[in-house]
Amino acid sequence: MKKYFGFLFLCFSIYSNANVKLPLLFNDGMVLQRDQTIPVWGWADANEKIEIRFNKQIVNIKADKNGKWMVNLKAEKAGGPFELVVKGKNTIALKNVLVGEVWVCSGQSNMEFTVSQAMNFTEEVNDTNFPMIRQFLVEKDMALTPKQKLKSGKWDECNKNTVGSFTAVGYFFAKKLYAELKVPIGIINTSWGGTCVETWTSREAFESNKEFREMISKVPNIEIDSLLITQKNKLITKIEQIQGSKIVTDETLFKNLAFNDANWPEMNVPGLWENQQLPDLNGAVWFRKSIEISKENTGKEGILELSKIDDQDVTYVNGVEIGTTNNYNQSRVYNIPAGVLKEGTNIISVKVNDYSGGGGIWGDASNLKLTVQKTIIPLAGQWKFNVVNIRSEVSPNSYPSLLFNAMVNPLIPYAIKGVLWYQGEANATRAEQYKKAFPLMINDWKQKWRQEDFPFYFVQLSSFDEFGGNSNIGSKWAELREAQQYTMETVPNTGMCITTDIGDAKDIHPTNKQDVGGRLAAIALNKNYNQKVVYCGPKYESMDIKDNKIILTFSGLGSGLMTPDKYGYLKGFEIAGKDKVFHYAKAYIANDKVVLFNDEVQNPIAVHYGWADDASDCNLYNNEKFPASPFRTDDWDMVTKGVKYNVQ
């Protein structure tokens, strides 16, 4: 009898708690997409009757046998605030609901990059009273199979207290749109730093694609906890092979001058370890560098500069702690007290803790140095390293589809106008394959949304000297930019914002996000909002060879070609002959064409423009101040040819 009543109580509890529920996107302060059908969906009891009221619309529906339900409200004009009421056994009343333009903002760290990190934040925050601009921030999450519900997230109105956490690119895009359209703007920020395009693509897309079908067949359908064990064991084996011994956790002596690190492997510094021997590591690594101090500098105070360290460091000189910082994007400048430096050999020891994404000592090599009196000792080059801890967690890049499943799929089929995308840095080593991976992801999202072919606008990689690449040794970043250009030219309803002129050769996260958002907005205003403004820069079309000169023709001229150089000199152009050796070209504008030559190349056959990791020298624009996209005219093999994405 007790078991019987216990069963009845359990059933009653389940029944009484099965309230109608909505996705987290449906909440107070939300923005709905205007001028198109508005899907509203949720969960309730099996076969429960649901009533949805919005503005003057009333729709009734019954949940299916699994408790799922969805209705499509008729299109609404921009406006609000309204109330959205969903009534089943319980009633949910969402207040302050607006109807306007909704854009998804996604990608890696340069999309995640917040307004508080952008240049001129103090000035910007005083101009942020825009209650019609709102952000929904998706909490970071991963899943091996598609999820129906987000981990967390909420809508925030734009004001002085909230704008700092908005995606900077998305906010400056929204700010420009609002200034021109005067309608509510909603941005859904689903981004994660350091992530590759494959983690944002669904399993079904890979299974249907010849390029990736074999790869995805190797990905196990198991739980995250099981993946943790598998991944950690693989990583431990790999690291022990690199280090030639078991991972040592007793690190008490690693900071000391007398410690013998002769058997430690070496790594180039600066440079993220993901791009070197430790591609999948989150955890702790010790770095050691020996230096020689002269008698004249013995015992003197010094300044140690370690560029930047991702994420946190504790730094020692001869066993004495001289500084610690926990900020991946902050320059490390530490004072060495008098009496620490010894005559002869000294040791710099740095323990680096990386929590996610990139890890290690990174940034500009010129900012890696020790200064003692008038002596400057460069520190870039080979450092000894030793892994002492592996974080037991799956990273977003461990397996494909992890972020699509947890941070995109739950958003579908929320009505949107389009997508803004800033990503590619994490795919630079596989730039050639990006020509297949990136279009696959874009088309995957469009198919999954089952919405009218929405616009997908993205940011071309900016200028950053990550690998020191150029035309003659190869440039992975240039190849990735080419893959992005290819995507824009081959995938319908896409657009690309060029940013090589507003990057930072020493920082992968340039702070000028105002112009990035503004340029994306120019594309949208022209293509989607009937404002006939110039929205792109010159694009290479063809070339003619006359004697030792090459003459280039461009589209996207606007009202004509120009350069901000006061002498009219164009930079960033190179030419090569049959030997495939590139030389800087003398270049000038003539009749809205570009003329190139170099006296050392009498029979030129190929041109490169901006073909380098750091393409900030490029200075060809149209009169509307939009830069030309980097390009090449040859089809010679590149350095990322044949490099494929694979699952370890």
What does the H/E/C string look like for 21-84? ECCCCCCCCCEEECCCCEEEEEECCCCCEEEEEECCEEEEEECCCCCEEEEEECCCCCEEEEEE
pLDDT score recorded for residue 224: 74
Backbone torsions φ then ψ of 46, nearest 5 degrees: -55, 130
Angle (CA) 427 429 430, round 5°: 65
Residue 3 has pLDDT above 80, yes or no: no
Tokens of 24: 């987290």
On the CB side of 328, CA atoms within 13 Å amount to 20
Tokens at 307, concatenated: 């560029």
CA distance 425 to 358: 11
Q: Can you tell me the mean pLDDT for 130-139? A: 98
pLDDT score of 308 more than 50: yes
For 69, which DSSP code?
Answer: E
Q: Is the Cα torsion angle 506, 509, 515, 521 positive or negative in sign?
A: positive
Residue 331 CA, distance from chain mean position: 21
Backbone angles phi and psi of 109, in degrees to 5:
-65, -30
pLDDT band at 648 (very low <50, low <70, confident <90, very high): low
Among 40, 42, 64, smallest CA distance to 54 is for 40
Q: First-to-last CA distance in the chain? A: 55
CB 622 within 8 A of CB 557: yes
Helices (H), 212-278: 213-217, 224-243
In 188-297, where does DSSP find H-type helix?
Answer: 203-207, 213-217, 224-243
SS3 label, residue 11: helix
Bridge-based pairing state of the strands 360-362 and 302-310: antiparallel
Calpha distance 613→324 (Å, rounded): 30
Pairing of strands 573-576, 153-158: unpaired
Contacts of 225 (CB under 8 A, 6+ apart): none
SS (H, E, C) 511-525: CCCHHHHHHHHHHHH
CB atoms within 10 A of CB 250: 7
* The pLDDT of residue 208 is above 60: yes
* Residue 45, Cβ density class (10 Å: 0-12 exposed, 13-18 middle, ≥19 buried): middle
Lowest pLDDT segment from 4-13, 150-159, 552-561, 616-625: 4-13
Q: How far apart are CA 511 and CA 499, in angstroms?
A: 12
CB 129 within 8 A of CB 159: yes
**Residues 510, 504 contacting (CB under 8 angstroms):** yes
Q: How many CB atoms lie within 10 A of CB 460?
A: 22
Angle, CA 478 vertex, CA 646 and CA 468 arms, to 5°: 95
Per-residue confidence (pLDDT) for residue 319, from 0 to 100: 96
Distance CA 388, CA 39 (A): 50
- Triad 641, 642, 647: Cα angle to 5°: 135
Question: Is pLDDT above 60 for 473?
Answer: yes
Residue 370: which H helix or E strand, with range? strand 368-372
Angstrom distance (rounded) from CA 537 to CA 556:
5
| Residue 482 φ then ψ, to 5° | -65, -40
- C-alpha to C-alpha distances, 342 to 254, 301, 373, nearest whole angstrom: 18, 11, 14
Residue with tokens 């009421």: 85
- Given a contact cutoff of 8 angstroms between Cβ atoms, the answer to whether 476 and 433 are in contact is no
Q: What is the mean pLDDT of residues 585-607?
A: 97
Question: What's the token pair of residue 25?
Answer: 């996107």
In the chain, % helix, strand, coil (3-state, to 5) comes to 25, 35, 45
Instruction: Indicate the SS3 state at residue 120.
Output: coil
| Residues paired with 593 in a beta bridge | 590
pTM of this prediction? 0.85
DSSP state of 586: E
* Integer Cα distance of 566 and 624 in angstroms: 17
Q: What is the pLDDT of residue 647?
A: 84
Both tokens of 248, joined, read 């040592």
In the predicted model, is pLDDT for residue 174 greater than 80? Answer: yes
- pLDDT over threshold 50, residue 523: yes
Distance in angstroms (rounded) separating the CA atoms of residues 630 and 486: 12
At residue 459, φ and ψ (nearest 5 deg) are: -100, 125
pLDDT value, residue 200: 98
The whole-number average pLDDT for the span 519-525 is: 97
Average pLDDT over residues 380-391: 94
H or E, element range at 448: helix 431-449
Q: What is the pLDDT of residues 327-371, one digit of tens each?
A: 988 999 999 999 999 999 999 999 999 987 789 999 989 999 999
* β-bridge partners, 57: 54
Distance CA 251, CA 386 (A): 10
**At residue 14, does pLDDT exceed 80?**
no
Q: 299-303, 362-366, 395-399 — which is least confidently predicted?
A: 395-399
In the three-class reduction of DSSP (H, G, I as helix; E, B as strand; rest coil), residue 648 is classed as coil
Report the mean per-residue pLDDT for the chain: 94
Does the pLDDT of residue 2 top 60, yes or no? no
**What Rg do the C-alpha atoms of the chain give, in angstroms?**
28
